[in-house]
Chain A
Amino acid sequence: MTIGIDNLSEAAVPAAGSWAGHLAEWTARRLEPVVIGLGAILIGLVLFSLFILALGKSPLLLFQLMYTGGFASWFSIQNSLSRAAPLLLTALCVALPARLGLVVIGGEGALALGGVAAAAAALPLAHLLPPVPTLAGIALAAMLAGGIWIGCVGALRHYRGVNETISSLLMSYIAIAVMNQLIEGPLRDPASLNKPSTLPLPADYLIGPLPGMDVHWGFAIGIATCVLSYLLIETTTWGFAARVAGGNTRAAEVQGLPVGRLIVGFTALAGACAGLAGMIEVAAVQGSANGSLIAGYGYTGILVAFLARHNPLAIIPVAILIGGIDASGGLIQRRMGLPDATVLVLQGTLFVVILACETLYGRFKPFNPDLWKRDL
């Protein structure tokens, strides 16, 4: 098993030493990914600079533009955060099953189904209920749809031995087909002429922006879900059991852990996250379910999850980083005359280097928690 899951031993470190020792140990452990991550980004940027130089363009100008476009002003920051919002949830769709050692790559389909379920549920609910309960209701519908879909992947894995990677991919394509069939067939709003869509949500039922910001509430929901997922994995017995089962299924079964329920539960939860992402796209961005839901968020989420080493908290900065690179991509096209693929090359270079640098974990002495335990 080689998925980047933190060592089990981490959870089993004995409580010992003074609080200063604890602090140093804690800092050392938390600092390692930050330093290695930033170092890797630096190496990636240098490599990408060579590429840009080879094209006869100025890498300095490019990085300046990236900073301007992604992070330099309040507008740019909000731009980055808006783009990061759906990735937080689709990344969780990969990160949660990864705790059990499962590689689920079908978030795109769960997102599509979640979006359609949300739009379909909105029609009756909006007649009966005020906005907030309606939104809660359609969020539930979306999470159910996504949860059942990816939960099936988990169930197939455990009860039929069907590989989850291939089944989630296949089911993703099927889900997108179902979505298209529904929004161009039974759920189509006849008034949606050239862009087949479901009936739109009433304007006052849409998810609005965060107070004082131009970023919709979906971003906050995404952050909250990441934090909750972190707590689930790190602090609950379910999370602990999942990590044990992820380490060794056979051993977990021998120990009497409910591996089947864990697998179905975690995959269903993962699907619920992607379904929620679909609901937010419908209720905060699109206003209805339509083909624009298929924008690759599910696939980008895979990348985000692997870069975050399947740690739900780490997903937050990684998603914002990708959002920022995407946000600045436009400026690079407009100001430097480079094609949009420049950003893909940059992302590819960065991600390969960041992931390759995982080999450096544990190589630098100052980051070794044991060292600090001994010293203090």
Chain B
Amino acid sequence: MFDRLSLNRRRFLKTTTAGLLFGAVPGLVSGRARAADGLTVGFVYVGPKDDYGYNQAHAEGAAAVKALDGVTVVEEENVPETVDVQKTMESMINLDGATLLFPTSFGYFDPHVLAVAAKYPDTQFRHCGGLWQAGKHPENVGSYFGYIHQGQYLNGIAAGYATKSKKIGFVAAKPIPQVLQNINAFLLGARSVDPAITCQVIFTGEWSLAVKEAEAVNALVDQGADVITCHVDSPKVVVQTAAGRGAFVCGYHANQSPLAPDKYLTGAEWAWGNVYTDFAKKALAGEKLGNFVRGGLKDGFVKMSPLGPAVSTEARNTFEATLAEIMKTKYSVFKGPLKDNKGNEVIAAGAAYSEDAIELESMAYLVDGVVGSAS
């Protein structure tokens, strides 16, 4: 602790001097201070670092990067998607000498990451969830994401075996492609067990809204849903409320099994530690970082929580067989013939979208069997 503090103090003195030297001249702001050696990596979070969900998963990834030799990690939490995040990134570059930045909230990408990246061509920006396109976006920007819908598909299998009412529930924040993929995959997983299962979705409209999420769970359980999962930033409330009402739960973002040991079936978790250490090692070695990085369960981007005690042997067998399949090939959760819940065909018979199909990233429908509206 003391070492870090004194190291920081040294760097602090260095940067202030640089700030005084160059700072007074507007045109020279780019003549910024840099860490003399090693690599400084900046992480920016939209919420608190320990939210039992989205931001925590990223912060755990950052912690893995901290363990690398020669890497300094700087972090900032609760940074809104406004001019604040632009200035936070610039501050990390100018005052901390960060050369690799991970702005982790989707909303940071356009316009904030793009604007700052254009100003600092020597800094690398890797953004979570964005759709980086060659030619359209700067070369020092890239995006990474994981096929977490595979995890929700496996959640769905566990749910399909656990449900008695043949009705499962999903608490979602907003009807955007990343969320719609998860809802659809959850139902398709359950329907691979029993095609009669339906999934009720409730949108809360916000990424983090504790009371409304709890109300949504209660409404789902009142309508007979007996397995619940979610896609909100902090699933703690959903998991606890659902378990409290006697429903089974599947987790999301991080492992929430300690919150409901008996009712927790499994969960789709991020494994950002792998992704971030990979980026950082490449940056340390001076290699080029990928601009469009995607991966699923077999690439170590996503992992499953250990199966809970409520999972039957039959369910366990199917779950593990499917998982093994996903680990082997480019698995297609979304296969034709598939209709959306308005009756339109969205995937023709014989067609299939493998995990890396770009079409999945613009999904705008809920599949047949999901009760809810995608717009």
**Chain A residues at the B interface, C-beta cutoff of 8 Å:** 61, 64-65, 68-69, 72-76, 79, 82-83, 85, 180, 184-185, 190, 193-196, 212-214, 216, 281, 285-287, 290-292, 295-296, 326-327, 330-331, 333-337, 339-340
Residues of chain B within 8 A (CB-CB) of A82 are: 83, 86-87
Closest 10 CB pairs of A and B: A73-B23, A73-B19, A292-B81, A334-B74, A295-B80, A194-B176, A74-B23, A79-B87, A340-B78, A330-B76
> Quick one: which of B100-138 are within 8 Å of A by CB?
106-107, 109-111, 129, 131
Closest A residue to B95 by CB, please name it: A331
Tell me which of A61, A76, A83, A196 contacts B84 (CB under 8 A): A83
Inter-chain residue pair count (beta carbon < 8 A): 124
Residues of chain A within 8 A (CB-CB) of B110 are: 195, 287
Known: A184-B375, A330-B91, A334-B75; 4 extra A-B contacts, CB below 8 A, are A76-B91, A212-B26, A291-B107, A333-B77
For residue B144, give the distance in angstroms from its CB to the closest CB of chain A. 14
> Does B15 count as interface, using CB distance less than 8 angstroms?
yes
Contact B23 A194 (CB under 8 A): no
Closest B residue to A65 by CB, please name it: B12
Residues of chain A within 8 A (CB-CB) of B368 are: none
* 14 interchain pairs, CB-CB under 8 A: A72-B16, A75-B19, A75-B23, A76-B23, A76-B95, A194-B129, A195-B106, A196-B174, A214-B29, A285-B82, A285-B111, A291-B107, A335-B12, A340-B76
Closest A residue to B119 by CB, please name it: A214
Closest B residue to A341 by CB, please name it: B78
Contact B76 A61 (CB under 8 A): no
**Chain B residues at the A interface, C-beta cutoff of 8 Å:** 4-5, 8-9, 12, 15-16, 19-20, 22-26, 29, 32, 48, 74-84, 86-88, 90-92, 94-96, 106-107, 109-111, 129, 131, 174-178, 205, 361-362, 364, 375
Q: How far is the CA of A184 from the CA of B203 in the complex (A)?
A: 12
Q: How far is the CA of A376 from the CA of B91 in the complex (A)?
A: 52
Residues of chain A within 8 A (CB-CB) of B88 are: 330
Q: How far is the CA of A339 from the CA of B78 in the complex (A)?
A: 10
Residues of chain A within 8 A (CB-CB) of B174 are: 184, 196
Q: How far is the CA of A82 from the CA of B111 in the complex (A)?
A: 16
Q: How far is the CA of A214 from the CA of B83 in the complex (A)?
A: 11
Closest B residue to A185 by CB, please name it: B375
Residues of chain B within 8 A (CB-CB) of A73 are: 19-20, 22-24, 94
Tell me which of B12, B83, B90, B176 contacts A193 (CB under 8 A): B176
Known A74-B25, A184-B175; judge A327-B12 contact (CB<8 A).
no
Tell me which of A61, A69, A340 contacts B91 (CB under 8 A): A69
For residue A214, give the distance in angstroms from its CB to the closest CB of chain B. 7
Known A195-B110, A331-B91; judge A340-B77 contact (CB<8 A).
yes
Residues of chain A within 8 A (CB-CB) of B81 are: 292, 295
Closest B residue to A67 by CB, please name it: B16
Residues of chain A within 8 A (CB-CB) of B79 are: 330
Contact B82 A281 (CB under 8 A): yes
Q: How far is the CA of A65 from the CA of B80 in the complex (A)?
A: 21
For residue A59, give the distance in angstroms from its CB to the closest CB of chain B. 14
Contact A334 B12 (CB under 8 A): no
For residue B128, give the distance in angstroms from its CB to the closest CB of chain A. 11
Residues of chain A within 8 A (CB-CB) of B77 are: 333, 339-340
Contact B75 A194 (CB under 8 A): no
Q: How far is the CA of A340 from the CA of B205 in the complex (A)?
A: 25
Known A73-B19, A75-B90, A334-B75; judge A193-B84 contact (CB<8 A).
no
Contact A68 B26 (CB under 8 A): no
Tell me which of A61, A74, A184, A281 contacts B24 (CB under 8 A): A74
Residues of chain A within 8 A (CB-CB) of B24 are: 73-74
Contact A79 B91 (CB under 8 A): yes
Residues of chain B within 8 A (CB-CB) of A76 are: 19, 23, 91, 95
For residue A78, give the distance in angstroms from its CB to the closest CB of chain B. 8
Question: Counting chain B CB atoms within 10 Å of each CB, which of A76, A292, A336, A339 scores highest?
Answer: A292
Contact B111 A287 (CB under 8 A): yes
Closest B residue to A190 by CB, please name it: B364
Closest B residue to A296 by CB, please name it: B80
Contact A327 B87 (CB under 8 A): yes
Contact B19 A68 (CB under 8 A): yes
Closest B residue to A290 by CB, please name it: B107
Residues of chain A within 8 A (CB-CB) of B32 are: 75
Closest B residue to A334 by CB, please name it: B74
Tell me which of A72, A196, A339 contacts B20 (CB under 8 A): A72
Contact A68 B78 (CB under 8 A): no
For residue A337, give the distance in angstroms from its CB to the closest CB of chain B. 8
Q: How far is the CA of A326 from the CA of B79 in the complex (A)?
A: 10
Contact A292 B107 (CB under 8 A): yes
Residues of chain A within 8 A (CB-CB) of B76 are: 330, 333-334, 340
Contact A286 B111 (CB under 8 A): yes
